[in-house]
Amino acid sequence: MSTDSGTGRDRPLLHEWESRLYGTVQSRDYPVPVQFLSTLLRVGTTLDRAYWGSIADLSADITERHVGGVSGRFYVRSWLDAKFVHQFGGDGTHIELLRDLLSNVDESDVFLDVGANFGKFSCMLAHALPPGNVVAVEPHPANADRLDENLALNCVDRAAIRRALSDENGTAELTVGTDVSGFQGAAFRSISSTRTLDWLKSRREITHEVPTIRGDDLIEEADLPQPTVVKIDVEGAELRVIDGMRETLENEACRLVYCEVHAKRLRGTGDDPRRVARELEALGFEVVEEPETYGGTEQVKAVRSDG
């Protein structure tokens, strides 16, 4: 049985038992009757809280995860933390992306993590890059708190940047909610605009007013190093992020971009999800990975074009 070293409650994560109990948790493959009841009764989040809460209780306070020859440490203090670290144990899209990213960076790279969440990418990349070469951006207050804790745990000396990258400077409403399946997400509405992202239909929503800034302005204002590798995961705001950091992305030093495209949410605002790849091409990149169809959440990978 695998164990994870930690402090505080020094107990194993019980990976084998966890795997047998939950099975294909990555795809949320509950038994059909449970799926039906959770949808009917809207208790997906309750099921998640109960399951992952039990895993958190059985876990060490700190767990170590290994991907692509790199190790990172993460706190496990809540059901969300437990769900987050479990993703390292599978072969989901994010882990495949993380492996690919780790295999394509070297010590000269500067990594910009836009939508860093709890720090899965930033904390792992911190062990592959020199000090100061990881920049994590996360506007959601609670996520940024967890992110800062995980960054410090992995000896990252730069705190999270608690602003939302966008195509304009100002403020925006960050609406966070949980849908009937237990998914947690965020949507932006500009305070100065009537345009809204109404893809998030939730029984419970919390809205935070957060500062927004263009990526180009952030790099100049905070005197950040020019990013060479960029990861974007912003829940449907990807085109606005790209529009706000065109100079940064067009810089020849920026050689690699990974962008998660939330197709349904982009369509919900009247945008074409295929524009993400086309915009990157216009900025001098060659799109080497693009889905044939944009059905849901897809990954686009772009490398600096030699031509």
Region 129-136 average pLDDT:
97
Residue 84 has pLDDT above 60, yes or no: yes
Question: What pLDDT, on a 0 to 100 scale, did the predictor assign at position 195?
Answer: 34
Q: Structure tokens of 232?
A: 């974007």
- Distances from the Cα of 44 to the Cα of 9, 66, 79, 178, 202, angstroms: 29, 29, 14, 9, 12
**pLDDT interval class at 105 (50, 70, 90):** very high
Report whether pLDDT(58) > 90.
no
Check pLDDT > 90 for residue 102: yes
Q: What pTM was estimated for this model as a whole?
A: 0.79
Give me the half-sphere count of Cα atoms (radius 13 Å) on the Cβ side of residue 243.
Answer: 9
Question: How many helices and strands (H and E) does the chain possess?
Answer: 12, 12
Rounded to the nearest integer, the mean pLDDT of the chain is: 79
Average pLDDT for 21-36: 45
Among 282, 237, 244, 225, which residue's Cα sits nearest to residue 261?
Answer: 237
| Amino acid 79: pLDDT | 79
Overall average pLDDT of the 242-269 stretch: 95
- Least confident residue range of 19-28, 130-139, 208-217: 19-28
Give percent above pLDDT 70 in the chain. 71
Cβ atoms of 175 and 207 within 8 Å: the answer is yes
Three-state DSSP at 108 gives coil
DSSP strand pairing (229-232 vs 111-114): parallel
Are the beta carbons of 205 and 177 closer than 8 angstroms?
yes
Look-up: residue for tokens 């065109």?
Answer: 246
Of the pLDDT bands very low, low, confident and very high (cuts 50, 70, 90), residue 3 is very low
Flag whether pLDDT at 196 surpasses 50.
no
Average confidence (pLDDT) over 167-192: 59
Residue predicted with more confidence, 214 or 87 = 214
Mean pLDDT on 136-141: 94
Calculate the alpha carbon distances from 119 to 69, 145, 285 in Å.
18, 10, 26
Q: How high is the pLDDT of residue 17?
A: 36
Using an 8 Å Cβ cutoff, are 234 and 216 in contact?
A: no
Q: When comparing pLDDT for 185 and 216, which is higher?
A: 216
Cα(40)–Cα(178) distance, integer angstroms? 15
Tell me, what's the pLDDT at 42? Answer: 54
Position 173 scores a pLDDT of 85
DSSP string, 216-276: HHHHHHTTPPPPSEEEE--TT-HHHHHHHTHHHHHSTT--EEEEEEEHHHHHHTT--TTHH
Q: CA-CA distance, 70 to 68, in Å (whole number)?
A: 5
